[in-house]
Amino acid sequence: MAARSPGIPAQERLFSLVLALLASEHGLSKSDILSTVQGYRQRYDSSGGNQSLERQFERDKDDLRELGIPIETTEPPGEQGNNQLLRYRIPRGEYELPTELTFTPEEMAVLSLAGTVWREGALSSQSQRALLKLRSLGAHTAQTPISYAPRVSIAEDSFAPLSSALDRKRLAEFRYLKPGRLDAEVRRVAPLALVQHHGRWHLYAHDASADAPRTFLLSRIVGPVRELTTAHTWPLDGAAAAALEGLDRLWERQEAVIVASEGSDARLRLGARAHADDDGTLRVHYTDGELLADELAGYGPDIVVHSPASLVDAVRLRLGRVRALHSAGAGSTQRPGAPAASEQRGDR
């Protein structure tokens, strides 16, 4: 039995498998693949007992097909039904780029770099498919003219499983905390699009309980996302545009009127995304009032919120909770939840 060696990364194993299947004109048998391809051969036992390795190969085949890579299977004449003698190959005509389409080494480097921008599961299948194809075409040999690789990080843990469910057109289930609620509700949805709007990621999906499309803020998803085995048939075309149009309408409709102290951090941050009236009053558009209230409460006395009334109440509620917690910690006899002095004066 071959000596055990350090594990080969899955991406390298898949890349080696793609190259091997592309290079074979008549296809490779499972035994050929397991005994010669990087990532398999290190664990191959010539005396037998390769069941776990065969299962790994079956999973890898499924992964490549899900990435859009065509794998052709043929049976030798007279050996129909013998899975051990099946031969596998990737037809070059279905995989390679059109012959009239070419890239300079610099263009290949930029394309490869673009594929590495996405991290932490973001657009995983699209990114992996592009990288595998580019590397097989020689992108890994080009010297990149850029000395660093940017990253687009996805803070929400729910992004990767929702992206997977979206790719597979499967239902997903998660617990969602609606604005102003204390308890999360279980939602079962058919994911249709993942979009970013004003710096926040949203899921546009058909909600089974409402039997209608709904938009969910990813940061409000509580706990893990469960991808179900049930497929759905809701169309994906136009879903991203519909999601962004709906969010744009909500953002335009909701406006906060705020006064921020000159020279304060609040003035700097809010001013960057607000319209300022002649008297210095800031008008800030928003999509989620609860999240905006969280932000505004953090500025403390540097801001005064004038409208809308619901936002004023949400900010005052947060400041009242902070005051109550500090009073309780200091041994104060003030009743928790009582309005702060600034609230009693009517300051906002």
Where is the domain boundary, 64, 80, 95? 95
In this structure, of 54-58, 89-93, 102-106, 298-302, the range with the lowest mean pLDDT score is 102-106
Domain assignment present for 259? yes
Whole-number average pLDDT of the chain: 79
- Does 110 reside within a domain? no
pLDDT confidence of 112, banded at 50, 70, 90?
low
Look at 251 and 145; give whichever has higher pLDDT.
Answer: 251
Distance of CA 155 to the CA centre of its chain: 9
Residue 298 predicted with pLDDT over 70: yes
**Nearest CA to 266 among 298, 222, 232, 221?**
298
In the structure, what pLDDT confidence band is assigned to residue 119 with cuts at 50, 70 and 90?
A: very low
Please report whether residue 5 resides in a domain: no
Q: Which amino acid is at 291?
A: L
**Are residues 246 and 263 both part of a single domain?**
no
Residue 280 located in a structural domain: yes
Write the pLDDT tens digit of every residue in 35-58. 888 888 888 888 888 888 999 999
Helix, strand, coil in percent for the chain, rounding step 5:
45, 20, 35
Inter-residue contact 228 to 239 (CB < 8 Å): no
CATH number at 17 reads 1.10.10
Top-confidence residue, 152 or 325? 325
Q: Which pLDDT score, from 0 to 100, does residue 91 have?
A: 85
244 and 264: one domain? no
pLDDT at 336 over 50: no
When pLDDT is cut at 50, 70 and 90, the band that residue 85 belongs to is confident
User: Are 188 and 152 contacting, i.e. CB atoms less than 8 angstroms apart?
Assistant: no
**Same-domain pairing of 178 and 225:** yes
- Strand duo 212-217 + 200-207: pairing: antiparallel
Is 226 in the same domain as 268?
no
In contact, 337 and 324? CB cutoff 8 Å: yes
Domain-located, residue 176: yes
Q: Would the pLDDT of 185 be above 90?
A: yes
Task: Please indicate, yes or no, whether residues 186 and 260 belong to a single structural domain of this protein.
Answer: no
For helices 124-136 and 10-23, the axis angle rounded to 10 degrees is 50
Residues 163 and 246 in one domain: yes
Domain co-membership, 237 together with 262:
no
Would you state the pLDDT for residue 154?
Answer: 55
Give the model's pLDDT for residue 35.
86
Q: Are residues 218 and 261 in the same domain?
A: no
Res. 192 pLDDT band, cuts 50 70 90 = very high
Which of 95, 129, 146 is the last residue in one of the domains?
95
Q: How far apart are CA 348 and CA 125, in angstroms?
A: 48
Alpha-carbon distance 268 to 261, whole Å? 10
pLDDT at 341: 37
151-164 per-position pLDDT tens digit: 455 557 898 899 88
For the segment 257-267, the average pLDDT, to the nearest whole number, is 91
Q: Would you say residue 126 has pLDDT above 80?
A: no
* CATH of residue 245: 2.30.30
Statement to judge: residues 333 and 266 lie in one domain: yes
β-pairing, 303-307 vs 255-260, is antiparallel
Query: For helices 51-66 and 10-23, what crossing angle results, to 10°?
Result: 80
**For residue 168, how many other CB atoms are within 10 A of its CB?**
17
Domain that holds residue 17: 10-95
Classify residue 324: in a domain, yes or no: yes
* End-to-end Cα separation, the chain, in angstroms: 75
Secondary structure (3-state) at 167? helix
Kindly state the percentage of the chain with pLDDT values over 90: 32
Could you give the residue ranges of the DSSP H alpha helices within 67-104? 92-95
Are 258 and 339 in a shared domain?
A: yes
Q: Percent of the chain at pLDDT above 70?
A: 75
pLDDT of residue 84: 67
Show which of 54, 77, 95 is a domain's final residue. Answer: 95
Whether 43 maps to a domain, the answer reads yes
**For the chain, how many structural domains are there in total?**
3
Task: Name, in order, each residue with C-beta under 8 angstroms of 163's C-beta and a sequence gap of 6 or more.
Answer: 121, 122, 123, 124, 125, 194
Close Cβ partners of 155 (under 8 Å, ≥ 6 residues apart): 219
